């Protein structure tokens, strides 16, 4: 699944190729990716012909094309979505779902939304150029210079929820997926089950700063090989080649203390952590069986 740095790379790539271009026509080749547009494929297509793309913006894992007259095309890549800028002569991708023919794009490219599993999608957001109302409830992400760190740590420390759950709460901080949460917690030396209300201000801010560092590192890697990534990142693997300390390393030695990394189930996914560097919180009772009751 594309995580925030990948989506930022996509945003930057779109910015480079399509800002200033005009959408001449749109082909919706499968209705599912525009299922959240209340006007359907016909309305989606009709709303966009002749519109100029003025900016490409992002919040968390959502991105949008800001159009003239203040509207926007809001997009999410879901599990397997790609936004490709292709030469019009390039053969159609097998899972091509929506094609935007453009006039005035860099290198004469056109824009293609490709999505095998179709959890992602696109919709027209009337008046959404600055911030689509559909995502106004989503918090800023750690890479956003206007992210309010103090509000974040206050909300974390007023909550009885586990810190990992809080990191994944998109109304508190957006764009931190399962991988980044585990990596940030490992770097911060915090166990994901620690309740927010038992963290110090420094611990709450520390894990946020570590999440930002992991994202910036991934972004820096993406920036160095942008062209290949733009074709591939959005592609099958979905992940940057990144050095992970915790995520996916069950049984491998911790990079700090050599204790084998442990994996536990977390919702329908997994959490990875070092049982020594990231001490589990003490239970309120010593006799209660250990289980995740949430
Ligand atoms: Zn360790």
Report yes or no on whether pTM surpasses 0.85: no
Closest CA to 124 of 194, 39, 60: 39
Tokens linked to 102: 């453009």
Q: Which of 16, 36, 269, 279 is catalytic?
A: 269
3 among known catalytic residues: yes
- Taking the centre of ligand 1 as the mean of its atom positions, its distance from the CA of residue 266, in whole angstroms, is 20
Closest CA to 238 of 263, 220, 224, 218: 218
Give per-residue pLDDT as tens, 52-71: 999 999 998 899 999 999 99
Closest CA to 3 of 219, 205, 156: 219
2 among known catalytic residues: yes
281 among known catalytic residues: no
Please report the pLDDT score of residue 236 as a whole number.
Answer: 34
- Taking the centre of ligand 1 as the mean of its atom positions, its distance from the CA of residue 189, in whole angstroms, is 8
DSSP string, 36-103: T-TTHHHHHHHHHTTPBEEEEEEETTEEEEEEGGG-EEEEE-TTTEEEEEE-TTSPPPTTEEEEEEEE
pLDDT band, very low/low/confident/very high, at 34 (cuts 50, 70, 90): very high
Q: Which of 3, 6, 110, 183 is catalytic?
A: 3
Q: Which residues pair with 122 in a beta bridge?
A: 75
Give per-residue pLDDT as tens, 124-144: 999 999 999 999 999 999 999
Reported as type and span, the H/E element at residue 236 is none
pLDDT band, very low/low/confident/very high, at 242 (cuts 50, 70, 90): low
Q: Is the pLDDT of residue 111 over 70?
A: yes
Q: What are phi and psi of 234, to 5 degrees?
A: -70, 0
């Amino acid at each position: 699944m594309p995580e925030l740095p990948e989506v930022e790379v996509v945003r930057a790539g779109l910015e480079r190729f399509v800002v200033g271009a005009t959408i001449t026509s749109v082909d919706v080749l499968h209705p599912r990716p525009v299922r959240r547009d209340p006007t359907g494929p016909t309305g989606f297509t009709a709303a966009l012909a002749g519109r100029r793309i003025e900016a490409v913006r992002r919040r968390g894992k959502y991105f949008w094309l800001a159009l003239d007259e203040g509207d926007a095309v809001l997009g999410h890549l879901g599990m397997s979505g790609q936004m490709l800028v292709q030469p019009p002569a390039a053969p159609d991708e097998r899972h091509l779902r929506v094609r935007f023919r453009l006039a005035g794009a860099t290198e004469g490219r056109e824009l293609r939304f490709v999505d095998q599993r179709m959890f992602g999608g696109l919709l027209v957001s009337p008046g959404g150029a600055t911030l689509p109302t559909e995502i106004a409830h989503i918090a800023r992400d750690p890479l956003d210079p206007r992210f309010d760190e103090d509000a974040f740590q206050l909300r974390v420390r007023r909550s009885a929820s586990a810190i990992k759950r809080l990191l994944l709460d998109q109304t508190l901080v957006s764009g931190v997926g399962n991988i980044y949460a585990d990596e940030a917690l490992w770097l911060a030396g915090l166990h994901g089950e620690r309740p927010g209300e038992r963290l110090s201000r420094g611990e709450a801010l520390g894990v946020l700063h570590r999440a930002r560092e992991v994202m910036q590192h991934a972004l820096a890697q993406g920036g160095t090989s942008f062209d290949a990534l733009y074709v591939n990142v959005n592609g099958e693997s979905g992940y940057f080649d990144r050095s992970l300390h915790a995520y996916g390393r069950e049984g491998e030695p911790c990079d700090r203390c050599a204790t084998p990394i442990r994996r536990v189930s977390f919702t329908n996914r997994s959490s990875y952590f070092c049982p020594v560097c990231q001490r589990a919180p003490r239970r309120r009772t010593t006799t209660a069986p250990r289980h995740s009751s949430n």
